[in-house]
Amino acid sequence: MGKITYPTGVENHGGSLRIWFSYKGYRVRENLGVPDTPKNRKVAGELRTSVCYAIKTGSFNYTTQFPDSPNLFRFGLESKEITVLELSKRWMELKQMEIANSTFSRYESTLRSLLPRLGKNKLASAVSHEDLLRIRKDLLTDYQGNATWKPAKAVLGRTVPTVNAYMRVINGMFRFAFNSGYITKNPFAGFTSLKKAKTLPDPLTREEFVRLIDACNHQQYKNLWSLAVYTGMRHGELVALAWEDIDLKAGTIMVRRSYSVTKEFTLPKTAAGTDRMINLIQPAIDVLKRQAELTRVGKQYQIEVKLREYGRKLTHPCTFVFNPAMTTRNDIEAGHYSAGSISKIWERLLKRAGLRHRKAYQSRHTYACWSLTAGANPNFIASQMGHANAQMVYHVYGTWMSDNNLEQITLLNQKLSAFAPSMPPDRLKEA
């Protein structure tokens, strides 16, 4: 029997064929898993030739040609195919260290809604730009609910701001997948947010405010909503407000913490809002004096406050200004309201007062609008509300502020007329 000859780069390894070739300066071998037969030797030789040519011309893709090769790990080319569900788990695990728990909870809610639409067991690399556009369309138009039936009339889906927020979350997940090498192209490339109408503030008028306060059936409710309007504080900040933060003699509040929807104390929403000093107007001071009679000598709690730096916490001694035990027979151990509970109180008061429905957040808008009407500097308002600068004030209230142009002209006539140089009568005749 004659000696078996093999094409260049083809060899027998344990009864099956393998090829060898040079890649990135290394000599590598790949098992083909086929028996050593004359026909297979010829095919192996042709494969080896095509591989060498692809390497030479720069078109060789190791992962595609040998997807199960142990050499992929050697060259950092191991396959990173991953399902949408597994991708979401890895992303959320790493994302948790850089976002607040309230934001993390919102991300979880978004993923619960969108993972079934994306396909939990679908490969992340298989999600296309068109898939995302269709999901967005469905979110805007589909009936919301788990029922299998559809209503007789079309029911609009989620709002544009909500859909944009959902897509921003998923965009972050796929950007992570792209940067980590799980996908070779981000399906969100070229994806733009939906245009949304600007939401105008809907503040209480002075007459509506009086009706709201008159509708309160307890002094603490009167005090709470009066302070909300007189200071513009966020509801989470009002819930977390303690007497230790207030100096009635100086007329100030130091905003040091907030209470989140995830039932934990955190720093206020923005860095500019942390440890900010609110200068109280006299009606706000009067409100706090009335509230002091109810809760100033209450129980002091040692509250754990989560800082922005991951894992860090501080303990604040807190005697809460607004204590639900004042208004309910239930045994309230926490000593403070939740942000959601005071929103429900607001809704009940609007109904009782016969006022048009608006969200409780309008108490904050009412403070800003009233302050602007009174002629307060927008930069001062921004600092009181916890914004970094007046840009947010101009952005949110710019349209509303234009309604006061006539008042501003009257003010300028009163204040600046004395500065305008008067022209002598002779000059007027010459003109």
Catalytic residue list: 234, 269, 364, 387, 397
Question: Hey, is 272 helix, strand or coil?
Answer: helix
Strand-pair partners of 397: none
What is d(CA 148, CA 113) in angstroms, rounded to the nearest whole number?
16
Say which residues have a Cβ less than 8 Å from residue 89's Cβ, sequence separation at least 6. Answer: none
Using the Cα atoms of residue 97, residue 101, residue 102 and residue 108 in order, give the sign of their dihedral: positive
Q: Which two tokens stand for residue 157?
A: 């889906």
Q: 20 near 27, Cβ under 8 Å?
A: yes
CB atoms closer than 10 angstroms to residue 72: 15
Q: Which two tokens stand for residue 258?
A: 């907030």
Q: How far is CA 250 from CA 220, 253, 292, 293, in A?
A: 23, 9, 16, 19
Burial (CB count within 10 angstroms: exposed 0-12, middle 13-18, buried 19+), residue 136: buried
Q: How far is CA 385 from CA 238, 338, 396, in A?
A: 12, 20, 13
Using the structure block, give the residue that is written with the tokens 């006299």: 282
Helix (H) or strand (E) holding 363: helix 362-373
Q: Residue 77 CA to chain centroid, in angstroms? A: 35
Q: Residue 80 CA to chain centroid, in angstroms? A: 29
Side chain identity at residue 209, one-letter code: F
Side chain identity at residue 243, one-letter code: W
Q: Which two tokens stand for residue 64?
A: 């595609």
Query: Would you list the DSSP string of 186-251?
Result: -TTTT--PPP-PPPPP-PPPHHHHHHHHHT-SSHHHHHHHHHHHHH---HHHHHH-BGGGEETTTT
